[in-house]
Amino acid sequence: MPLSLMYNVIRVSDSLVERMVAFVSRKSISNTEIAAPKVTGRTQRLTVFGPPLLLEGEDAAAYDQLLARLCAAVKPVDIIDEIFIGDVAALEWEVLKWRRLKWTLMQEDILKALKDFLVEQLESNYALHKKHFKRYLAELLRNNLPTEQADSAETLAAECAPHTDEANEKLDEVLGSIGLEMNTVLDNARAAKAKELVQEYVRGKQAAVTLVHKLLADAGVSMDTFMAKAFPYKIDNIERIDRLATVAESRRNAALREIDRRRAVLGETLRRSVQEIEDGEFELIEPTAANGKNAA
Amino acid sequence: MTSERKIRANRANARASTGPRTTRGRARAARNALRHALSLPVCSDPVLSEEVETLAREIAGPGANAETHELARQVAEAQIDLRRVRYARHQFLSDTLSKQYYDSLANIRRKEKVLDAILRRNPLDISMETLKFMTSTPQGPDKLATVLSGEAKKLLAMDRYERRALSRRKFAIRAFDAANRDRAG
């Protein structure tokens, strides 16, 4: 029973980790999600241990929810249990924070490398961003052309976008009239398209994911290649964050073990009390002579 | 087993280690506890002391005897101490993160070198890339990672206080529980 309690709490805690990670990475959460229990009086009492220590930008409501769920799972019997629950919540929050930070740091460089790769691919394959360039150019012209010509921005963009010698000449002329360079505009457009593609890829938009995978396969690279390139520059930070997460995890587990130990003690005390009550209820009846005869 | 000779040597060495000897050294050591005040006992602060008593009463429960109350007070003291350490660490992290131009020491040194090289040039010639590097500071998750790395020593020192407070609290709670069990048994 004591061990099972601990595993239950760890299980609850792990499922919370998944949900929190899903929340942070904005994945959809399945319909089977359990509604968060309301904050009980006991949870409110936990405020005697001080306000939650959250950094700027951290979600206080999510922290309260974590605390409430832990309270509901452990069902504290006294203030010491509550102290441990407060600890588990704070440490679990820290574990999540460090994991999230590590993931973000790694992801940041990988996505930057992906963006650079996509810019290269777009440069060598204009067809990939022809439509985007037309839109980009139309907006640029609308914002920069004199008011009386702004209405013709769409038409001009359509004429300049095809990437033929004639169209390029016209594009150069139009951009020159508003003080812009064709190559800079093309570079910016490619960068904007690459950024858009990366964002869609992160969000898991099917078209973007398929295109990125195809481009990666064609170039003979994978996301792992980018990770391998980015990793050496971040290794120190990642190692440090890993250590912090490990310390928080071991302290969280120690708090869970203490809850478990106290439950065992409580269980033993209760068993002994029950035994004493039962012993008091019964009297030992000495066998009488008649009984002894019957028994013989 | 440690030999008698070793024990004698250890004792003699320990007697020689009496801390700083110069006036300056002694003055500096005297201020050690005031850096973040975490080494001072919680009971030296009247506000915290009151919080300890309140929490101890709650832990001991109504009608507790003197022994139970004393054990509960030890638990409360360790808990309040733990809260104080965690709060100090949190405050330190928050304050450092709120510094707009915070950067790691390594990066500041790199920038100093670049600046030195720029100032030696005649005429001054700064590329956009250099300018971007000189004016950039870590932001968002990078900033937090930089703070963790740049302030690792201070954070580690604070972590030691937290570890000690946790250990004190664990044993205080165990003693409290054991006394309760004995009384019940």
Pick the residue of B83, B89, B139, B168 with the most A CBs within 10 A to test the interface with A by mutation.
B83
B-facing residues of A in 43-62 (CB < 8 A) are 48-50, 53, 55-56
Amino acid letter, A105: L
pLDDT value for A248:
94
Greatest pairwise CA separation for chain A in angstroms? 127
**In chain B, domain spans:** 38-99+162-185
Q: Do A101 and B144 touch (CB under 8 A)?
A: yes
Assess if residue A60 is contained within a domain.
yes
Q: How many alpha carbons lie under 13 Å from residue B125 in its C-beta half-sphere?
A: 3
Q: Answer whether A79 touches B (CB < 8 Å).
A: yes
DSSP codes joined into one string, A212-258:
HHHHHHHHT--HHHHHHHHHHHHHHHHHHHHHHHHHHHHHHHHHHHH
Range of lowest pLDDT (A17-26, A109-118, B44-53)? A17-26
User: Cα–Cα distance between A246 and A242 in angstroms, integer?
Assistant: 6
Mean pLDDT score across all residues of chain B: 88
Q: Are residues A175 and A140 in the same domain?
A: yes
pLDDT, tens only, A192-203: 889 999 999 999
pLDDT, tens only, A66-96: 888 888 888 888 899 899 988 999 999 999 9
pLDDT value for A244:
94
Q: Are residues A216 and A275 in the same domain?
A: no
pLDDT value for A36:
39
Q: Answer whether A277 touches B (CB < 8 Å).
A: no
Q: Are A201 and A209 contacting, i.e. CB atoms less than 8 angstroms apart?
A: yes
Task: Name which of B55, B86, B149 is nearest A48 (Cβ-Cβ).
Answer: B55
A52 pLDDT higher than 50: yes
Residues of B in contact with A247 (CB under 8 A): 159
Instruction: Output phi, psi for A58, to 5 deg.
Output: -80, 150
Which DSSP state fits A35? P
pLDDT band, residue A132 (cuts 50/70/90): confident
Q: Are B28 and B20 contacting, i.e. CB atoms less than 8 angstroms apart?
A: yes
The residue range of the domain holding A28 is: 2-103+245-283
Pick the residue of B71, B90, B94 with the most A CBs within 10 A to test the interface with A by mutation.
B90
As a whole number, mean pLDDT of residues A148-155 equals 73
pLDDT value for A23:
37
Q: Do A237 and B93 touch (CB under 8 A)?
A: no
pLDDT value for A277:
58
**Number of C-beta neighbours around residue A164 at 10 A:** 10
Q: Answer whether A273 touches B (CB < 8 Å).
A: yes
B170 pLDDT higher than 90: yes
pLDDT value for A286:
64
Q: Which of A199, A219, A218 is nearest to A209 (CA)?
A: A199
pLDDT, tens only, B54-86: 999 999 988 889 999 999 999 999 999 999 999
Q: Answer whether A241 touches B (CB < 8 Å).
A: yes
DSSP codes joined into one string, B20-46:
--SHHHHHHHHTGGGTT-TTS-GGGSH
Which residue on chain A is closest to B153 by alpha carbon?
A240
Q: How many alpha carbons lie under 13 Å from residue B41 in its C-beta half-sphere?
A: 8
What interhelical angle do B140-150 and A223-281 show, nearest 10?
Answer: 70
As a whole number, mean pLDDT of residues B151-164 equals 92
Task: Name which of A104, A241, A265 is nearest B177 (Cβ-Cβ).
Answer: A265
Assess if residue A240 is contained within a domain.
no
> Percent of chain A scored above 70 by pLDDT?
73
Amino acid letter, A294: N
pLDDT value for A34:
34
Q: Do A272 and B185 touch (CB under 8 A)?
A: yes
Residues of B in contact with A251 (CB under 8 A): 166
pLDDT value for A269:
64
pLDDT value for A296:
39
For chain B, where are the alpha helices, taking DSSP H only? Answer: 4-16, 23-30, 46-60, 66-97, 105-120, 128-135, 140-150, 152-184
Which residue on chain A is closest to B149 by alpha carbon?
A237
Q: Which of A190, A248, A204, A226 is nearest to A13 (CA)?
A: A248
Amino acid letter, A156: L
User: Cα–Cα distance between A191 and A115 in angstroms, integer?
Assistant: 8
As a whole number, mean pLDDT of residues A248-267 equals 87
pLDDT band, residue A245 (cuts 50/70/90): very high
Q: What angle do CA B83, B73, B167 make, to 5 degrees?
A: 55
Stronger pLDDT, B176 or A163, i.e. the higher one: B176
A217 pLDDT higher than 60: yes
| CA-CA-CA-CA torsion sign (A240, A243, A249, A255) | negative
Smallest CA–CA distance, residue A53 to chain B, in Å, is 6
pLDDT value for A136:
83
Residues of B in contact with A237 (CB under 8 A): 145-146, 148-149
User: Cα–Cα distance between A188 and A84 in angstroms, integer?
Assistant: 54
CA distances from B169 to A46, A48, A86, A252, B61 (A): 17, 17, 14, 14, 18
A38 pLDDT higher than 70: no
As a whole number, mean pLDDT of residues B152-170 equals 93
Residues of A in contact with B79 (CB under 8 A): 49, 83
Q: Do B148 and A244 touch (CB under 8 A)?
A: yes
pLDDT band, residue A290 (cuts 50/70/90): low
Domain closes at, from A233, A254, A274: A233
What are the residues of chain B with a beta carbon less than 8 Å away from any beta carbon of chain A? Answer: 54-55, 58-59, 75, 79, 83, 86-87, 90, 93-94, 97-98, 141-142, 144-146, 148-149, 152, 159, 166, 169-170, 173, 176-177, 180-181, 184-185
B-facing residues of A in 154-213 (CB < 8 A) are none
Q: Answer whether A269 touches B (CB < 8 Å).
A: yes
Smallest CA–CA distance, residue A193 to chain B, in Å, is 23
Q: Answer whether A41 touches B (CB < 8 Å).
A: no
Q: Do A254 and B170 touch (CB under 8 A)?
A: yes
Residues of A in contact with B55 (CB under 8 A): 48, 79
pLDDT value for A223:
87
Q: Do B93 and A108 touch (CB under 8 A)?
A: no
Task: Name which of A50, A105, A247 is nearest B141 (Cβ-Cβ).
Answer: A105
A97 pLDDT higher than 90: yes
Q: Are B145 and A105 contacting, i.e. CB atoms less than 8 angstroms apart?
A: yes
pLDDT value for A242:
94
pLDDT value for B117:
87
The two structure tokens encoding residue A167: 């169209």
Q: Which residue has the tokens 């949870």?
A: A43
pLDDT value for A206:
92
pLDDT band, residue A229 (cuts 50/70/90): confident
pLDDT value for A176:
79
Q: Which of B185, B57, B150 is nearest to A266 (CA)?
A: B185
pLDDT value for B36:
66
Q: Are residues A95 and A109 in the same domain?
A: no
pLDDT value for A281:
59
How many residues are there in chain B?
185
Q: Answer whether A240 touches B (CB < 8 Å).
A: yes
Q: Are B76 and B56 contacting, i.e. CB atoms less than 8 angstroms apart?
A: yes
CA distances from B63 to A83, B57, B60 (A): 21, 10, 8
A6 pLDDT higher than 50: no
- The 8 Å CB, 24+ separation contacts for A5-13 are A5/A74, A5/A259, A5/A260, A5/A263, A6/A256, A6/A257, A6/A259, A6/A260, A8/A73, A9/A70, A9/A73, A9/A74, A9/A88, A9/A256, A9/A259, A10/A253, A10/A256, A12/A69, A12/A70, A12/A73, A13/A70, A13/A88, A13/A92, A13/A252
Computed over its alpha carbons, how large is the radius of gyration of chain B?
Answer: 26
Q: How many alpha carbons lie under 13 Å from residue B145 in its C-beta half-sphere?
A: 25
ipTM above 0.90?
no
pLDDT band, residue A282 (cuts 50/70/90): low
Range of lowest pLDDT (B29-38, B99-108, B124-133)? B29-38
Q: How many domains are there within chain A?
A: 2
The two structure tokens encoding residue A183: 């190559």
A5 pLDDT higher than 90: no
Q: Are residues A128 and A168 in the same domain?
A: yes
